[in-house]
Structure 1
Amino acid sequence: MWRKRTVGWLILCMVCLLLLIARLVQIQLLDTESFSKHNVNLLEESVKQRTQELVIDSGRGDFLDRNGELLTHKKLRVLVLFPFLKKIDWDAEKVAEIAGISNQALRNAVENAKKPFAFGEPYPIELTTSQMERINALKIPGVFAVEKKFERASVPAEQLIGLTGENASLLKKRYPEKELPEKTQVGVSGLEESFDEFLLPEGPTKLVYHVDGGGAPLFGINVKYVDPANPFYPVNVRTTIDQTIQQKAEELVDQYKIKKGGLVLLNIEDNSVLAMVSRPKINKKNPYEGSGITNRMLKQEIMGSVFKTVVAAAAIEHNLDDPTRIFDCTKKINGKPERKYNHGKLNFTESFARSCNRTFGELAKELQKKDPSILEEYAEKLSLIGSVGWKGEIYHTDDFRQFPNEDKGRVFLSDEARKDANFVAMSGIGQHEVRATPLAVANMMATIARGGQKEMVRAVSKIQYKNGTTMVEFPEKNLSGESISPYTAMKLQKLLREVVLNPNGTGRALSSLPYSVAGKSGTAETGKYEDGKQLHNKWFAGYFPFEKPKYALVVVNLDVKETGNTVNLIFADMVKMLYELD
């Protein structure tokens, strides 16, 4: 009996030993880079246990403004110190003297350190080039003066640029053929997402120091500098944003307390984004809480009377703009007396300047009788339907889009609405089912200012290699489809200018600005209520200077009560600011 038990125990021990060996083989040889369901890289983790390191640059590509300045990060010359300094004799007094800091503060910082750090973090003291050279000339182990990349506390155009995050499953799904560490940052919104493949890091640049279990030197006190040393990567994405204008635009939007909305500023000459502000801001602690991560400038909104520009274009090209014709603006669209906005009897030009709903409701119905799709046809001619962001072929991508989450505009959702005279009248004043993005509205203004030439909107002009040479260019491109005639564009330019020049025009408050403005206001009922009061989308869209157009600007304040004229005030301050900068 005891022999059988002994044999049984031996067999059990052998099985356990074999299982243990198999587990060790799995850990040491087979799954070293993707252990367990969490895909843990055991090689990396083992190295981390016996090293202290300071990442100087993550290796992910950067975003630059149109002048080549960093947008999301800043590079600072800082003093880096390693914890092992507390265990050796070093000339702290000399380092403190060169850096212009207290010797005691320097020693206290080292004594309290558990890992390498930049002195003064989270607000590190910046060194001059001379200070860097003098500190490094001392050749003190564990003391370095280096240029380190820091993320900005406040990123300009944060919704446009977008966010990154660690997401192992998304990383594997997006790049199944690439071997990337699971902690690799991936773009999850904005340009970070659309340009993610170009921005992926080759590897971080860091200072590494090997220690034993107690934190003592393992191979002496030499610190190793690790750098992928690729002259071409990481790349830089050169945006069209002007950082100075962007920052001032954000200050204005916040100054006027825009809670939901923002602005888009385009450079008409090359149809590129100079500034884009979206509110609410992103909650960095929880980006998906609320709607801060959403770029409202790329989302379709009810646009109200701004859409009358489309109706006016169609009316001009179908000879319905007779200057002698008089419209009864004492009545609403439905024929009932207009008590709130009783403009009296107006002609076509005055109706546009004063934004008479009756005029454009009637014109929309007359146009619909000619062709039920005519409003959509002219909305497309003015780039309000479809996407307007840059798209095209880049490398192996046939349909690369700079704005992958851009909404498309629309006029009608159904054929029934398209043929219903009442719905058509409401659509003529930008209500009912009419929607467009602020970006598309800005592009409409730029199209009119250029005499009818439709172009795609760019937020990025090129991708540059690390050495500054060009990897990919995003040239100016025309939007496909028909456009309005130069004659119609000229007539629309005059109408938009009259909005500002007319003593009763909805843009009259902008008549005395240093740049001459042409534009159109819009107040759209959203169907939402607060405290029993109807909420509105407030717009002002235009371009300037009128004589030689340079900028197209849209300001929008969403879901607000009708009181106040915030969008006109922001528009005016933007014009003044740009005039001063120019």
Structure 2
Amino acid sequence: MPGFHRTVREMSVLQRERGVMLDPGRGQFTDYKGEALTGKLQWGLVLFPQASPLEKLRKQGALEGSEMIQLAAILHTDPDQLKKEWNQESIPHFWTAGTHQPVHLNAAQVEHLRSLHLQGAGIYPMMTRYLQGHTGMQWMGYLAEQPESSKVLTGHEDEVKQPFAMKSGAAGLERTLEPLLRGIGPTLVSRMVSGGGEIIPNIQPHVIAPTNSHYPLRVETTVDAELQRGLEELTQESGLQEGAIVVLDAANADVRAMISRPFYQPQHVDPKESAWGNRAVQGAVPGSIFKIVTAAAALEYHAVSNGEEFHCGGEYGRYGLSCWKEHGHGDLNLEQGFAESCNIVFAETARRLSMEQLENTADRLGLARPIGWEGKQMAGIPVLRHFDHEDHGRVRTEAVSSADEGAKIQTAIGQRDVLVTPLQAANLIVTLLHDGKVSAPRLVKRIRYADGGTMLEMPLHDSPSASGQIAPATAHKLLSWMNKVVREGTGKSLQRARWHVAGKSGTAQVQKHGEKRNNQWFIGYGPVEQPKYAVAVLVQNVSPDSQHQATALFRKVMDYLAESS
């Protein structure tokens, strides 16, 4: 008996399984209507390499020379390229045509390949994760390979190492939801090979797959896929190079669309490159949209009397400050100064406020702090966040003294050290529409099991400031002032929009590679009579001489939303 045991042991060493992954078993994303955002089954050709050259395969009758030529023709390649790729690795792999990405076969190719009855290759469904090429959905993120080999149970007593690298979330929701998304194991197609690496022909390929009906999970996002695609195309047509658009549901601050430019390719991200990023949650100098905060502080702290007028002659005379209108606006009150975005009016207003009052008001409005939805100790994750790498934003740096009047005035007009994210800016509008109550925007509504049951609900919640909120009367007044921006002020061009809209423009002076550039903003809502969406548009690093592209783009976004409603 000992001799027999040794023979079985030797056979177990000589025989191995070699497999290729068809589906990593990772959870998928949908939009809020259930439309798939990831995960599509497509056909691919799995090549099972031989230890000997392809000629030996022909001699074995697995693939005649004429059949190889036919196969190459079906795959739109030449026989030499096919032969090279077939045996360039000692492990099974999808046909890639030298691109390092599996080639998706069309229906005609599948039909023709099946007619060849191949022995050293097979047609199998594979899960393609990302459905888009270049996209502005940086909020979804991307995957990166883990170099360690995965171990997968094959039904034998021992675990067999499979020669493929599993991928895990490296950014976006892919990263923040990684513990939930990773699933319980991949689906493989495997064949037995001898100790010499040759396929054992009388043992057919078999599929190894997890049997738990709960997995993979399905993440239901709040995004409207149709709006997301349409607005991505709109940014392309508008020539937006750098910037972001955030569209929130005015009723609850759910993200309906979030676009970041430049686009990225989720299937081709190099984690070593630093260019990747979601500009919708990155801080940018806000310029005059921050005057909403300064105006709110003036109203909350009664810094300006009703009807009080200021004089704008174009130059302030201190701190290098001037108004955008060369010869000034003349006499105007705070409401008119808001509509005209007059720097002089806001400089004089800022003098009556303290830096702490500006900071306190910004905090009450959901600025200078992370604002996105998060849950603590959910589904075994210490902190579950919806917005990966979300910037805090800021009002000032610690190095700036609250007694520095010049810094305070620059801060009040959204310059100096102020940073606001487009997500915060859009949410600021929702806050005003809700009487000053700050909501926490969501990107995910719930997570479901594969069989349809709910695993985890992510309920709406607020993001209150420790110092309370602004008064409803202040919120109402600011909304009416934003209406005046469009009726009489810097947003007059929006009077031709399909919806009656309201908002606030902003232009911030920045530098890029030592050159003077501008950030342009427009944030607002529509329709005014029954607000449906709050929108923030940021156009970054444009020439100081260019027209206000953000206002024009805001109108296009609102017109698209109106047409889609």
**When the two structures are superposed, what TM-score results if normalisation uses the length of structure 2?**
0.80
The 1:254/1:106 distance shift into structure 2, 3 A limit, reads closer
Deviation of 1:456 after TM superposition, in Å, equals: 0.5
Q: Which digits, 9 at most, give the CA deviation of each residue in 1:33-77, with x for residues without a partner?
A: xxxxxxxxxx9xx89x95554422111222222222332332236
For residue 367 of structure 1, give the secondary structure of its aligned residue in structure 2.
coil
Aligned to 1:517: 501
Letter matched to residue 286 of structure 2: M
Distance across 2 between alignment mates of 1:166 and 1:117: 17
**Higher mean Cα deviation, 286-295 or 216-225?**
286-295
Residue in structure 1 matching 2:127, options 143, 146, 149: 149
Q: Does the alignment pair 1:298 with 2:281?
A: yes
Q: Identify which of structures 1 and 2 has the higher relative contact order when contacts are C-alpha pairs closer than 8 Å and 6+ apart.
A: 2
Aligned to 1:245: 227
Kept in 1: contact 2:364–2:464 (CA 8 A): no
Deviation of 1:183 after TM superposition, in Å, equals: 3.0
Residue in structure 1 matching 2:170, options 179, 185, 188: 188
Letter matched to residue 503 of structure 2: G
For residue 424 of structure 1, give the secondary structure of its aligned residue in structure 2.
helix
Aligned to 1:342: 328
Residue in structure 2 matching 1:124, options 79, 90, 104: 104
Distance across 2 between alignment mates of 1:377 and 1:448: 16
Q: Does the alignment pair 1:493 with 2:473?
A: no
Deviation of 1:544 after TM superposition, in Å, equals: 1.2
Deviation of 1:491 after TM superposition, in Å, equals: 0.6
Aligned to 2:538: 556
Q: Which digits, 9 at most, give the CA deviation of each residue in 1:277-297, with x for residues without a partner?
A: 222334765635664312122
The 1:187/1:222 distance shift into structure 2, 3 A limit, reads same
The 1:88/1:436 distance shift into structure 2, 3 A limit, reads same
Residue in structure 1 matching 2:447, options 449, 457, 463: 463
The 1:330/1:107 distance shift into structure 2, 3 A limit, reads closer
CA RMSD, Structure 1 to Structure 2 (Å): 3.7
Distance across 2 between alignment mates of 1:527 and 1:108: 50
Kept in 2: contact 1:383–1:444 (CA 8 A): yes
Distance across 2 between alignment mates of 1:180 and 1:348: 71
Aligned to 1:472: 456
Kept in 2: contact 1:78–1:127 (CA 8 A): no
Aligned to 2:153: none
Gaps of 5+ in 1: 1-27, 29-42, 91-101, 172-178
Distance across 1 between alignment mates of 2:231 and 2:271: 24
Deviation of 1:489 after TM superposition, in Å, equals: 1.2
Q: Which digits, 9 at most, give the CA deviation of each residue in 1:416-442, with x for residues without a partner?
A: 532222221111101112111111111
Kept in 2: contact 1:260–1:279 (CA 8 A): yes
Q: Does the alignment pair 1:160 with 2:146?
A: no
Deviation of 1:409 after TM superposition, in Å, equals: 2.2
Residue in structure 1 matching 2:29, options 49, 63, 72: 63
Q: Which digits, 9 at most, give the CA deviation of each residue in 1:507-557, with x for residues without a partner?
A: 111111111111111111114466xx6211111111111111111111112
Aligned to 1:441: 425
Aligned to 2:410: 426
For residue 209 of structure 1, give the secondary structure of its aligned residue in structure 2.
strand
The 1:140/1:417 distance shift into structure 2, 3 A limit, reads same
Letter matched to residue 361 of structure 2: Y
Distance across 2 between alignment mates of 1:378 and 1:200: 41
Letter matched to residue 305 of structure 1: S
For residue 477 of structure 1, give the secondary structure of its aligned residue in structure 2.
coil
Distance across 1 between alignment mates of 2:496 and 2:405: 40
Distance across 2 between alignment mates of 1:105 and 1:475: 55
Rg larger for: 1
Kept in 1: contact 2:179–2:381 (CA 8 A): no
For residue 401 of structure 2, give the secondary structure of its aligned residue in structure 1.
helix
Q: Which digits, 9 at most, give the CA deviation of each residue in 1:116-159, with x for residues without a partner?
A: 6579995534449xx99x99999998887754311335264442
Residue in structure 2 matching 1:567, options 528, 531, 550: 550
Aligned to 1:274: 256
Letter matched to residue 289 of structure 2: V
1:162-561 aligned at under 5 Å gives the runs 162-168=141-147, 183-212=165-194, 217-218=199-200, 220-282=202-264, 287-288=270-271, 291-320=274-303, 322-334=305-317, 340=326, 342-368=328-354, 372-393=355-376, 394-414=378-398, 417-481=401-465, 482-502=468-488, 505-528=489-512, 534-561=516-543
Deviation of 1:318 after TM superposition, in Å, equals: 3.2
Gaps of 5+ in 2: 1-8, 51-56, 64-69, 87-91, 151-159
The 1:398/1:124 distance shift into structure 2, 3 A limit, reads closer
The 1:493/1:226 distance shift into structure 2, 3 A limit, reads same
The 1:551/1:449 distance shift into structure 2, 3 A limit, reads same
Q: Percent identity?
A: 32
Indicate the structure with greater strand content: 2
Distance across 1 between alignment mates of 2:32 and 2:107: 27
1:100-139 aligned at under 5 Å gives the runs 105-106=73-74, 112=82, 114=86, 117=94, 124-127=104-107
Kept in 2: contact 1:327–1:345 (CA 8 A): yes
The 1:71/1:286 distance shift into structure 2, 3 A limit, reads closer
Letter matched to residue 487 of structure 2: L
Aligned to 1:76: 42
1:7-46 aligned at under 5 Å gives the runs none
**When the two structures are superposed, what TM-score results if normalisation uses the length of structure 1?**
0.78
Kept in 1: contact 2:497–2:555 (CA 8 A): yes
How many pairs does the alignment contain?
512
Distance across 1 between alignment mates of 2:249 and 2:210: 38
**Higher mean Cα deviation, 417-426 or 76-85?**
76-85
